[in-house]
Amino acid sequence: MSLEFLVASAVAALTAAGIYLTLRARTFSVVLGLAMLSYAVNVFLFATGRLSVDRPPIFDKAAEGYTDPLPQALVLTAIVISFGMTALVVVLSLRSYLETGTDQVDGRRDGPEDGA
């Protein structure tokens, strides 16, 4: 089994779990789903730089080749942005919980509907 297959499987599993959790009705599940999707994008971006082992990130005449540093820089930037967005979504979901008294995405309370 090759390394590319394992990375592709990890991206697929993270994407599937992220989409499933994002479509749930609770805000905590939505936050976890968005985090999983951002992890999947980060792994995908990192894998686009070709998976090479023991290669320097800059060109060296003594080395046989080099690893492209651009995907690594993109992943670092994406990690910082996703951390900020996760903090924002957590604060918004906490505020929504304090305003409505429930953590349902649509703001409805658990239990049977009124008048049913």
User: 29-59, pLDDT tens digit by residue?
Assistant: 999 999 999 999 999 988 887 766 777 667 6
* Segments forming the whole domain that contains residue 81: 3-100
Q: What is the CA radius of gyration of the chain?
A: 20
Q: Is residue 51 part of a domain?
A: yes
Who contacts 36 (Cβ-Cβ below 8 Å, separation ≥6)? 14, 15, 17, 18, 21
Please indicate, yes or no, if residue 62 is contained in any of the structural domains: yes
Burial class (CB in 10 A: 0-12, 13-18, 19+), 91: exposed
Task: State how many domains the chain has.
Answer: 1
Q: Greater confidence, 113 or 115?
A: 113
Enter the pTM of the model. 0.76
What are the residues whose beta carbons fall under 8 Å from the beta carbon of 40, sequence distance 6 or more?
A: 11, 14, 15, 18
Question: Bigger pLDDT: 36 or 70?
Answer: 36
> What confidence score (pLDDT) does residue 116 get?
42
Give domain status of residue 116, yes or no: no
Residue 111 covered by a domain: no
- Does the pLDDT of residue 4 top 60, yes or no? yes
What pLDDT is recorded for position 113? Answer: 58
The token pair that represents 27 in the structure block: 């805000």
Note the pLDDT of residue 62. 67
Is the predicted pLDDT of residue 68 greater than 50, yes or no? yes
> Average of pLDDT values for 90-113?
80
Q: Is residue 81 part of a domain?
A: yes
Buried-state track 8-30, b at ≥16 Cβ within 10 A, e below 16: eeebeebbebbeebbeeeebebb
